[in-house]
Amino acid sequence: MLPLGLHQLGAYKKVQEDFFAGFEDVVIHDMGLSGQSVNSGVVVLGGAIRNERALDHLFHEMAHFIEIDLDRINKPNWGLRWGTSFRAQGKIYYKMAKWTAIKREIRGLVIQEALCKQYGIFLNRAARLAELSKQIDFMNVPGKSHEDKMETMRLYQDKCSLSSLNSLESIKAEWVNRIGFLRSLKTSQVRRVKNIAI
């Protein structure tokens, strides 16, 4: 695994202070993890993809933490599934009826982009959007051609960019709201365990 680049270390320390310090009871990050997991009720956000550790990868998972439905926030892999699976010619394929996964990624990308901008990390917006055309539900994006579908995604991204979650202040406020939600879940779980033990 490649180490975090020196140019990102200052920003990394600031992100730790701004988003993780004091919240370790419910959310932490692991720069060696790809994706998201849950460990003993603590949400763990990864900062790696393949062999690369980078803040924009961590920002991606932070964005999902901020935009995901509250009922999924403390579930492994955000409680998401790949749709209905079927086997053909010895391979497993997935049938998806909508483009909800791509929409979720676009919403996350907008938040990720705002975080990157705030902390001085380069993010190639066009390249990230193009990567989404390789997702399995791209076939469900409205449009007749590849170009039409890409334009639909760009328009959705522009719409999401107008949302309230495009500034550091609004992102931090939503982060704190979710921390409160997770803490209230932990408190209610402790109460249930105490009631069962009595």
- Residue 197 has a pLDDT of 53
CA–CA distance, 54 with 9 (Å, rounded to integer)? 10
- Kindly indicate the confidence band of residue 84, based on its pLDDT and cuts at 50, 70 and 90: low
How do residues 25-38 score in pLDDT, each as one tens digit? 999 999 999 989 99
Mean pLDDT within 80-109: 75
- Residue 2 has a pLDDT of 47
- Residue 181 has a pLDDT of 95
How do residues 135-192 score in pLDDT, each as one tens digit? 878 888 999 999 999 999 999 999 998 887 878 899 999 999 999 999 998 887 655 5
- Residue 88 has a pLDDT of 67
Q: Which residues are paired to 52 by β-bridges?
A: 49
HEC assignment per residue over 91-150: EEEEECCCCHHHHHHHHHHHHHHHHHHHHCCCCCHHHHHHHHCCCHHHHHCCCCCHHHHH
Please check the confidence at residue 44 and state whether its pLDDT lies above 70: yes
Identify the residue whose tokens are 């900062």.
47
pTM: 0.84
Q: Which residues are paired to 43 by β-bridges?
A: 27, 38
- Residue 196 has a pLDDT of 60
| Residue boundaries of the structural domains of the chain | 6-197
